[in-house]
Structure 1
Amino acid sequence: MLWRRESQRLKALLMGRNLSDGLLAKLIIYVLLSIVAYLYLQPLLYMITTMLKTVSDLLDPSVKWIPRVVTWENLTKAYEGLRYPEALRNTAVIALTCSLVQVLVCSMTGYALARLAIPFKGLITALVLLTFLIPPQVIIIPLYVIFSKLGLLNSLFVFLVPAIFGQGLKGALFILIFRQFFKSQPPSLEEAAKLDGASVARLYFRIMLPLAQSACLVVFLFSFIWYWNMYYEPSMFLAKGFTPLSIRLDNLEEVLNPSLLSSQESVNNPVTEGTKMAAAFLIIFPPMLIFMFLQRWFITGIERTGIVE
């Protein structure tokens, strides 16, 4: 009897009353989470260790993760090669300005498509979805001609003007996110205000927009990250002057080694690999820092906006 009682207690300890309560189930979950975390963190760890290596460590195949000598020279070269303060300011201005504009414009459009009785609303929603499905490469030449005639090239307005009209980077997706959120709200929230004679603008700014804080945060973070990391559009519209970090990273090899004329030599050059990894780390560090502080509200916002649905 004592042996059977002890075996049952051991089984309850290992397996638990529920599937996720036992030590064995928790161990399996922790192992799986550790594997997934390693898969996501491995590129970042490789980037950090590579940028801290000297040239001799980069050329030595036996040195993979831990450098023999830690050096900050690669970080200094990347900082100077990118002209980091200027490029960071340009990128931050583009990302912050366009993201805030997209939050306001896309929320207004999503509210109109979800709550207002406007003609051809279904057709407009279908057209918004169609703009999301069209690749940017298809319309890049007409956009370039339009911006060139308006004198907007090499300036912030090549991104700000489309964002103002709800057609910024992934603008259609953000409109659909807000439409889904406002559509899920009960009509009783607006009925009392309508009886008091509140206008549509007052309903939106005083009632619906404060309720959409979680959706606004999700859209802002998505828009900020996409504007921060975009490369194709700046390479077409920002050839000189007002260039973000992504363009500076592409031209970093020419700044570091002007003598390397062959692109193949540039890619396979191990001497500058540490510097390029340091430059990539400098680029991803600000949005990574922002996400670390806002991840709690970001995850909550995704749950409330109905993106999963």
Structure 2
Amino acid sequence: MSDGQIPTSEKSKVGHSSLKRLDDWRIRLRTSEGMQKSRMLIFGRHFNDGWLFKLAIYIILSAAALLYLNPVVYMLTTSLKHGTDLVNPMIQWIPSKLEWSNYASAIIGLHYWKSLIQTGWISIAASLLQMGSCAIAGYGFARMRIPGKSVFFFIVLLTFLIPPQTLSIPLYVLYSKLGWLNTPLPLLVPGLFAQGLKGAIFIIIFRQFFATLPKELEESARMDGAGPLKTFWRIMLPLARPALLIVFLFSFVWHWNDYYEPALYLKNGDFTLLAQSMQFLQGNLNSAAATGSSMGGSYFSLNESITMAAAFLIIAPPLIVYMFAQRYFVEGIERTGIVE
């Protein structure tokens, strides 16, 4: 071997060390790429598209769902319990036996079918009247040039800010002079004039929706010879179907659940709504429990089961309506501008 040459063994050692460094570099590269992918999956590119963020959202939504569903589940389970289950500390959620007779007692105590029909048609009629009149008022505030429009809109806002209880006495006196007490007219006529339950909110919803529509629609209709009424009826109102649905559902539910106005205006008439029937049932149950009649000592413990059964029977129709209209309800909220 000459002096300037490297031994073969040394060459092999150098080659092995180079290959080892290359393998180590490849392993580190794969490891770093894998860690980056894992980090990307967990945290996401912008943190709000990773698994960790989605998991947190699911946990929050699940907790909120449990929070809202807990009263409904409690209502259902309690409505199916016997009196002995209510006083048994070992039974919390699942009854030992399904007591369907609680619903039969609630139906009898509520005069359910009569009250259901009366509540249904009054709620639907009042909602339709309110929907139509508030749509006209909202369109006028949004699209028409009316002198003093801002003043009138401020008055509408005042009706929203003033508690309705402050107007109860003058309205009661007015309806008494008109002979409307113990009739459904006090619940229906205000809706004909864009008033009634939450009427100002519905005017604001329609005003917000009509203000978002392009002005070219009205200009084209005007060029075709259409007047304001025809433009509203043939062009604007069909486009306002999302707002119409939202207003109808809100108005229907609020009229269905309202107790204050029916208790004030329908005291001794033939009309008894479900909210009133619920109050009467609760009073009868408490009186029966106090006197110990009919069922003796167990009657007091049955009060809660029958009351919960009656409450579920009252909220069941709006829940069914919402189940079928849920998709349109969410789309309507997005398109009416209630949420941005």
Normalising to structure 1: TM-score of the pair?
0.93
1:191 matched to which residue of 2? 219
Q: How many residues align?
A: 304
- Report the alpha carbon displacement of residue 256 of structure 1 after superposing the two structures with TM: 4.0
Secondary structure of the structure 2 residue equivalent to 1:272: helix
Moved more, 151-160 or 32-41: 151-160
Counterpart pick for 1:290 among 302, 318, 321: 321
Moved more, 109-118 or 217-226: 109-118
1:248 matched to which residue of 2? 277
* Gap regions ≥5 residues in structure 2: 1-27, 292-298
* Gap regions ≥5 residues in structure 1: 263-267
1:265 matched to which residue of 2? none
Letter aligned with residue 318 of structure 2: P
Counterpart pick for 2:169 among 125, 141, 156: 141
Secondary structure of the structure 1 residue equivalent to 2:302: coil
- Tell me the C-alpha RMSD between the 2 structures: 1.7
Once the two structures are superposed, the pairs formed by residues 20-35 of structure 1 within 5 Å of their partners are 20-35=48-63
Normalising to structure 2: TM-score of the pair?
0.85
Moved more, 170-179 or 268-277: 268-277
**For the Cα contact (< 8 Å) 1:81–1:252, is it kept in 2?**
yes
Question: Computing the radius of gyration over CA atoms, which structure comes out larger, 1 or 2?
Answer: 2
Moved more, 206-215 or 17-26: 17-26
Secondary structure of the structure 2 residue equivalent to 1:270: helix
**For the Cα contact (< 8 Å) 1:111–1:179, is it kept in 2?**
yes
1:48 matched to which residue of 2? 76
Runs of 4+ with >6 A deviation: none
Letter aligned with residue 64 of structure 1: Q
Measure the CA separation in 2 of the matches of 1:227 and 1:127: 23
The 1:113/1:172 distance shift into structure 2, 3 A limit, reads same
- Is structure 2 residue 304 aligned with structure 1 residue 276? no
- Is structure 2 residue 156 aligned with structure 1 residue 124? no
- Report the alpha carbon displacement of residue 154 of structure 1 after superposing the two structures with TM: 1.5
- Report the alpha carbon displacement of residue 27 of structure 1 after superposing the two structures with TM: 1.9
Superimposed CA distance per residue, residues 84-127 of structure 1 (whole angstroms, 9 cap, x where no aligned partner): 11010111011100001111100001111111111111111011
Counterpart pick for 2:198 among 159, 167, 170: 170
Superimposed CA distance per residue, residues 224-254 of structure 1 (whole angstroms, 9 cap, x where no aligned partner): 1100000111110111320110000001034
Identity within the alignment, %: 50
- Report the alpha carbon displacement of residue 12 of structure 1 after superposing the two structures with TM: 2.9
- Is structure 2 residue 135 aligned with structure 1 residue 107? yes
- Greater relative contact order (Cα 8 A, min sep 6): structure 1 or 2? 1
1:154 matched to which residue of 2? 182
**For the Cα contact (< 8 Å) 1:81–1:256, is it kept in 2?**
no
1:93 matched to which residue of 2? 121
**For the Cα contact (< 8 Å) 2:289–2:300, is it kept in 1?**
no
**For the Cα contact (< 8 Å) 1:254–1:260, is it kept in 2?**
no
